[in-house]
Amino acid sequence: MLKNINFRGHSRNLTKVQKLSLSGVAAVGAAAIAITAMPGQSQAAQSSTTQAAAAQTPATFGNKPVKDIKASVTDQKAGASLKAEAAVAKQKAAQERKGQESVSRSTERVELQPVAAKTYANNLDGWIRQSLDIMRAKGIPGSYHGLHKNIMRESSGNPMAINNWDINARNGIPSKGLLQVIQPTFNAYHVAGTSKNIYDPVANITAAANYAADRYGSIDNVNSAY
């Protein structure tokens, strides 16, 4: 069909590829002319037809359609956003673990610390209070007032007091200590965890209170020698 074409007066033989390219360009030009010159069609209709044809032909950027490039960019943004969220979540989880480990270590330190033993004054007030704590633990009734009034009557608060003149003394078993307890009674009502020395203030008070609870219901009920 097209064998030769003149360029500035020169004749040149066309290759097969060049012929096909020129044929395509000619076809596109003819189609454009046909659309423009379509009889009976208004200018607005022709414009609409041209726009529709253009819409059906995807715009390209290099060798890829523009819409594909936009989709790729969107996917990259979405991926970057997910990575950022994952990094934040990972950092938050690490902080929470660190906080839990810190709390756990603090708890362990508290648990490992020995509980300080309760201390009592080495006087009549301290002896009575220590005896009361032991009595409560053992279920022995009695009050500070009940113990104190009987101690003052029996020994005036002297833990080494001894009665060498009453019937017990004449029988060879004198009353001893703050609450003037004889040795057999002390041995029978001795409270575990206290000293076995009858002159020990706390041991003497606690054994006497244990005896009074068995005999009178409570040391609070004793108002005279027992």
In this prediction, residue 37 carries a pLDDT of: 42
pLDDT in the model for residue 76? 66
Q: Assign 130 to helix, strand or coil.
A: helix
What is the distance between the alpha carbons of residues 192 and 138, in angstroms, rounded to a whole number?
9
User: Can you give the pLDDT at residue 203?
Assistant: 98
What is the distance, to the nearest Å, from the Cα of residue 224 to the centroid of all Cα atoms in its chain?
A: 61
- Domain 124-221: which topology? Lysozyme (1.10.530)
Kindly list the distances between the CA atom of residue 14 and the CA atoms of 20, 21, 25, 27, 136, in Å, as whole numbers in the listed order: 10, 11, 15, 18, 121
Q: Is 162 exposed, middle or buried (0-12, 13-18, 19+ CB in 10 A)?
A: middle
Helix (H, G, I), strand (E, B) or coil at 226: coil
CA dihedral 122, 127, 133, 139 (to 10 degrees): 160
User: DSSP readout, 2-28?
Assistant: --EEEETTEEEEPPHHHHHHHHHHHHH
Is residue 70 helix, strand or coil?
helix
Residues whose CB is less than 8 angstroms from the CB of residue 6 and which lie 6 or more positions away in sequence, other chains included = none
| For the chain, domain boundaries | 4-57, 60-113, 124-221
Distance CA 202, CA 186 (A): 12
Reading the chain (226 residues) residue by residue, the pLDDT tens digits are 444 444 444 444 445 444 444 444 444 444 444 444 444 444 544 455 545 444 454 444 455 555 555 556 566 666 677 777 778 888 888 888 877 776 666 555 555 566 678 999 999 999 999 999 999 999 999 999 999 999 999 999 999 999 999 999 999 999 999 999 999 999 999 999 999 999 999 999 999 999 999 999 999 999 887 7
For residues 151 and 179, the answer to whether their CB atoms sit within 8 Å is yes
DSSP string for residues in 23-69: HHHHHHHHHHHHHHT-TT--HHHHHHHHHHHHHHS--EETTEEHHHH
Asked if 176 and 208 count as a contact pair (C-beta separation under 8 A), the reply is: no
- pLDDT value of residue 35: 41
